Amino acid sequence: MSGNVYLYILTAFAVTYLIRVLPLTLIKKEITNRFVRSFLYYVPYVTLTVMTFPAIVTATGNVYAGLASLVVGIVVAVFTENLFLVAGASCVVVFIVNLIANAL
């Protein structure tokens, strides 16, 4: 890291806060432009997918643990739709696969 940590934090805070607070304070009417609404609707899912895959596969240094974590995470998400169960299951799977890999 060569930049100033506090400037990095303040930059992230300023942008994040403006995104959240501007609609709350300025926009009193609903967004009507169909393309803008559709674009904003897809953005979170696309960006989270790009950030997660393939990074999760290589994150632990063991490709099998990463793949298992991805698959189990998706399965638990499909059936429970519970944020914290999914996050927990992903972690536990990596732990178990790594234990097995080390024992072999």
Q: Report the site for other proteins in 39-98 (rule: CB under 8 A).
A: 39-56, 59-61, 66, 69-70, 73-74, 77-78, 81-92, 94-95, 98
**Which CB, 25 or 104, lies closer to other proteins?**
25
Cis peptide before 54 (omega within 30 of 0): yes
- Work out how close the CB of 19 gets to other proteins at its nearest, in angstroms, rounded to a whole number: 5
For residues 6-45, which are near other proteins according to CB under 8 A? 6-9, 11-17, 19-25, 27-28, 30-31, 34-35, 37-45
Contact 52, 77 (CB under 8 A): no
> How many chain residues bind other proteins (CB under 8 A)?
75
Asked whether the beta carbons of 52 and 46 are under 8 A apart, the reply is no
Q: How far is the CB of 32 from other proteins (least distance, A)?
A: 9
Q: Which two tokens stand for residue 98?
A: 């790594």
Give the span between the Cα atoms of 57 and 59, in whole angstroms. Answer: 6
- Residue 7 CB, shortest distance to other proteins, in Å, is 6
Q: Please, where are the H alpha helices in the chain?
A: 5-25, 34-52, 55-58, 63-80, 83-103
